[in-house]
Structure 1
Amino acid sequence: MAVSKPKASKATPKAAKTSTRKAASAPAVAAVAEAVEAKPEVLPATEQAPVAPANTLPAVVKKSSKKSKAVVAEPAAPTPAVDAKLETNLAKQPPRALNSPIRIFQIYFEPWQRELLDPAFYPLDNSRGSSELMEFAVFEQLQKNAATQGAVLWGALSWRFGEKTGMLGADWVKQIVEHPGHDVYFCNPHVNNEAVFHNMWMQGEVSHPNFVQIVKAFFAAAGLDDKEINAIHPSNSFSAANYFVATPKFWERFIPFVRKTLVTADKNLNPQVRDLLHSKVADDKGLHAGATYVPFIVERLFAYFMRTEGKDLKAFKIALPERERELNVHLKLLREMKDVAHRTQSAWLAACWVNYRNLYLSQTNSKAWCEKYLRAITPTEVRFV
């Protein structure tokens, strides 16, 4: 994926937090394990990346995580059809974006959220939206609607855009205008993930129960290359929250790619794994309105698409100065170390990064968190995408 990235501003330290939660039920996990063939690969002795002990990192404080109740898997329902109300409303009252070459919509669900919307974007009421696909369902509807016809670039962002990015809409648009000629503009509001995870698939393991196992089963069923799940990705490919604005050319290829992937996976998945995929176990922390695993997989497919079917498209990653300032010295060094390892294809440096990363995580998280996640997010081999 051809990506340009502007320089970020100087940062000041701030420690990262991660919570620990109970995983999905044993039967569900067993079903996933049966559906995915384990293929353990071990590094030569010089490339092993053992879990480092907690001991000597300076100026980093340990933080314990809180426990919460486990969430029981619910029977899966078929993926709901996209909500027709949104398209009808847009057709009757096209937003003022209709005559603009760059049309960025901001999705909201409650009346009070409208007051928090950015004036540079166009309010989009999705209070009646009920699709399991969440933002992706809005993308599908907007692509077919008159509101996006004739636009050079368009996209739909969350009502929490300002809170998550620390950026004004006008500054976002300015970045786009100042860097013309790209097919898609995106960002990653969670820059700390770029420093401590191999990729966004591994990051999902600490956010959603048994995420990696479910993703491996999903990839196998959808016919995708699962090698990237354990591979080291450069920081300029990290993306989260569906924060991207793109050309019609991008949308005409990305939307069918995601839809085909979902349909193929649903058709070929083991029934028990498919039920788990569409269950609310994915949102065991209750942070995403009871979302299933589907939207969390879909948002991570963006980077996969850009490395495969969309590899000829040009991407520009917008830097987020406020988020960059939150990185402490260790996170900045870890991110740079991983990027250099990726750029030079150095397995030795990648193994060094893993050891430093594990040492950092062991001092910024509880012992229970480390015992639960460190090995799960540490592949036994070094691989680069």
Structure 2
Amino acid sequence: MEAQLERKLSQEPPRALNSPIRIFQIYFEGWQRELLDPAFYPLDNSRNSSELMEFNVFEQLQRNAATQGVELWGALSWRFAEKTGMQGAELVKQIVDHPGYDVYFCNPHPNNEAIYHNMWVQGEVSHPQFLELVRLFYAAAGLDDKELTAIEPSSNFSAANYFVASQKFWSLFIPFVKRVLVTADKRLDPKIRDLIHSKVADDKALHAGATYIPFIVERLFMVFMRSEGKGLKAYKVALPERERELNVHLKLLREMKDVAHKTQSAWLAACWVNYRNLYLSQTNGKAWCEKYLRAITPIEVKFGS
């Protein structure tokens, strides 16, 4: 973490519209610092090699004087603008314009909201054996695995740990995640535990050799919001640039799934799956569909809360 961070912050007001919001931006290489957003505080994470990745930064910041006395804080990737199409000042404006929430989050990949039942199912096409391992993780952690295949509305999709949240949120969320991880590690079969902590998760070499753990952690956000965080208020930040990238089919698929969830219509959910499968066969090709389509299509129609 950047040296003398507390002293630097005490000498200058919060950059983001002079509001009681403190957003850090994590970087690892010197050249990345040149790409950081001026609305955020640069946070040198080059010496941090924790398996937990961003979550480890959250833990450190929560204990650091740099986050004390502010209403909201968060730590975002140096690729925030690239992933979201949004500048820091725009993010802060959305937060300021919608006061009173405990956590502000977003989903830089809205196409997933149209295609997948939920983010756990989405993980199946990104990380080998993901759902199989997550089911074992859930069982060991004492979580209800029914939600792993439930249809979730687009409002429940979150990715990349892009959170700006209140002290109350962090005081509940961080212990929740730590407790889930420790409980699972204690109860998992050693071979399965070793696999979950292995770099097999990043077989496409897209995530700097990450294990399954950070991909599980980022998906625990909604699990937390439905359980220990159910008394907290969440606001999903809109990403206009990413929305503009959605084609007409993705927009219709997302709307169709949302209506199916809202009305609890198994018939409409089945229609969505059929339309989705046809779309994927046209866009992703036969080989992809033969490899993944069955795995991402649960047999039973279930709706998340």
Matched-pair contact (CA < 8 Å) for 1:234–1:342: yes
Output aligned runs, 1:250-261, within 5 Å.
250-261=169-180
Which residue does the alignment assign to 1:367?
286
Output the CA distance in 2 between the equivalents of 1:340 and 1:185: 24
1:333 to 247, 252, 257: 252
TM-score using structure 1 length: 0.76
Which residue does the alignment assign to 2:23?
104
Letter in 2 for 1:332: K
Which residue does the alignment assign to 1:354?
273
Output aligned runs, 1:38-77, within 5 Å.
none
Matched-pair contact (CA < 8 Å) for 2:103–2:233: yes
Q: Which runs of 5+ in 2 are unaligned?
A: none
Q: Secondary structure at the match of 2:49?
A: coil
Deviations 1:131-174 (A, max 9, x none): 00000000000001000000100000000000000001000000
Go from structure 1 to structure 2 and tell me whether the alpha carbon gap of 1:264 and 1:329 turns closer, same or farther (over 3 Å shift).
same
More displaced stretch, 268-277 vs 86-95? 86-95
Which residue does the alignment assign to 1:322?
241
Which residue does the alignment assign to 1:173?
92
1:214 to 133, 148, 159: 133
Go from structure 1 to structure 2 and tell me whether the alpha carbon gap of 1:336 and 1:300 turns closer, same or farther (over 3 Å shift).
same
Output the CA distance in 2 between the equivalents of 1:100 and 1:175: 12
Deviations 1:89-133 (A, max 9, x none): 434644746685100000000000001000111100000011000
Matched-pair contact (CA < 8 Å) for 1:97–1:103: no
| Deviation, structure 1 residue 300 | 0.3
CA radius of gyration, larger in = 1
Answering whether residue 37 of structure 2 is matched by residue 118 of structure 1, we say yes
Go from structure 1 to structure 2 and tell me whether the alpha carbon gap of 1:270 and 1:330 turns closer, same or farther (over 3 Å shift).
same
Would you tell me which structure has more helix in proportion to its own residues? 2
Answering whether residue 229 of structure 2 is matched by residue 310 of structure 1, we say yes
Deviations 1:204-260 (A, max 9, x none): 000000100010000000001111001000000100000010000000000000000
Which residue does the alignment assign to 1:34?
none
Letter in 1 for 2:5: L
Which residue does the alignment assign to 1:248?
167
Output the CA distance in 2 between the equivalents of 1:342 and 1:308: 20
Letter in 2 for 1:104: I
Q: Secondary structure at the match of 1:156?
A: strand
The structure showing larger relative contact order (alpha-carbon pairs under 8 Å, at least 6 residues apart) is: 1
Deviations 1:2-60 (A, max 9, x none): xxxxxxxxxxxxxxxxxxxxxxxxxxxxxxxxxxxxxxxxxxxxxxxxxxxxxxxxxxx
Which residue does the alignment assign to 2:83?
164
Answering whether residue 212 of structure 2 is matched by residue 293 of structure 1, we say yes
Q: CA RMSD in A?
A: 1.3
Q: Secondary structure at the match of 1:349?
A: helix
Which residue does the alignment assign to 1:45?
none
Go from structure 1 to structure 2 and tell me whether the alpha carbon gap of 1:89 and 1:281 turns closer, same or farther (over 3 Å shift).
farther
Moved over 6 A (4+): none
2:5 to 90, 103, 119: 90
Identical positions, percent: 79
